[in-house]
Amino acid sequence: MKSFLIRLAFNNTLRKKIWARIAMQLKYGVPLLTIFQNLAKQYKNNTVLSEIFENICAEYHKGLSEALKKYVPYDELMLIESCESGGKLHEGFELAERIISAKDTIRKTIKSALAYPSFLFALLIVMLLLVAFVLVPSFEGNSNPAEWQGFGYLLYVVSSFLGSVYGAVFGIFFVFGAAFTFYSFPNYTGEYRTFLDKFPPFSIYRMIVGSTWLFTFSSMMKAGKQQVDILHDMVRSDISTPYLKDRIKKILENFGKKKFGDALLLADTGFPDEELINDLRTYAELPEFEDKLYKISEDWIRQGEEKLTEQAKIVQTICLISITVIIIGIILAYKEISTSLGGI
């Protein structure tokens, strides 16, 4: 319960704000311990936050990473720790702020891209249920639905299926199938995963995870950490999903013998993106690759937003077409049934 309250209070929005303030004050020479002591005083009316900053101050003598590790996500902590080792602590907090911004951008894109398609899909389900349990039963008292013709009979068939045991079983399988799909996103690493990653919704998940991973990886490089050390740390991290760990392990199999882009290609997973891998192989030959990779990762997040929006529009179009077809079918069925009954 306590850990939940900590995550709730010391959330992404607040950490982003705090990291920006710390980076600014460090630039002007304020000691980090003094900054945390001032934060503890500032948030004295918030029991959870004041306790967090007081504990950080109490643990500060053990080292910064030790003091922060209970309250800060692994990737942010690694950035801060790497820059501290390189003598550029303020850059560590700046990079931690940027990685929060990058993740927030991705989350907002996902929400905005999927909100309307989700609404349309829910509307589609509601319309089918209304047809099955309201519209068709309202006609059954006046005629035998089994004798209806054309669209009326089709409406009756759909209604009978949805209202039957088979319809209930189909609904249960659909719900469990959706739940299993969501579970498999971060967990399934079997032989068919690379094939599944080529198609939605797995391709969308790969793009989201890949863009976040590349930005984190490039940020840690910018902080002065060696590429191979970053990858090994990510594999050992508790916050890395089985899927991400599997992709990184496959990259590591060739990493010592090949350059970064070639190692991604030889991993043969298409992670994070096949087109991007080919671009990275070219960029890896250029000087100052570390700085270029960071800018590439920022650009790719923006491109990922566009791709996600495009794929969401496809789903949206399919839902709109389905709803239109159902509405037209209902209108035609109603006319046919009304005509057979002599008008209603």
Which long-range contacts does 142-147 make (Cβ < 8 Å, 24+ apart)? 142/341, 142/344, 143/337, 143/340, 143/341
198-233 pLDDT tens trace: 988 898 889 888 988 998 898 888 888 888 988 998
- In angstroms, the CA 196 to CA 201 distance is 9
273-296 pLDDT tens trace: 988 898 888 887 777 777 788 888
Which pLDDT value is given to residue 167? 86
Check residues 258 and 186 and name the one with the higher pLDDT: 186
Q: How confident is residue 1, by pLDDT bands cut at 50, 70 and 90?
A: low
Average pLDDT, the chain: 86
Sign of CA dihedral 160, 164, 166, 168: positive
DSSP track, 32-72: HHHHHHHHHHHTTTSHHHHHHHHHHHHHGGG-HHHHHTTTS
- In angstroms, the CA 279 to CA 260 distance is 11
Q: Could you tell me the two tokens for 217?
A: 């990886």
Beta carbons of 114 and 305 less than 8 angstroms apart: no
Q: Could you tell me the two tokens for 85?
A: 């080792």
299-335 pLDDT tens trace: 888 888 888 788 778 878 888 888 888 888 888 887 8
Which pLDDT value is given to residue 10? 87
**Amino acid in position 188:** Y
Which pLDDT value is given to residue 196? 94
104-137 pLDDT tens trace: 888 888 887 778 878 888 888 888 888 788 877 8
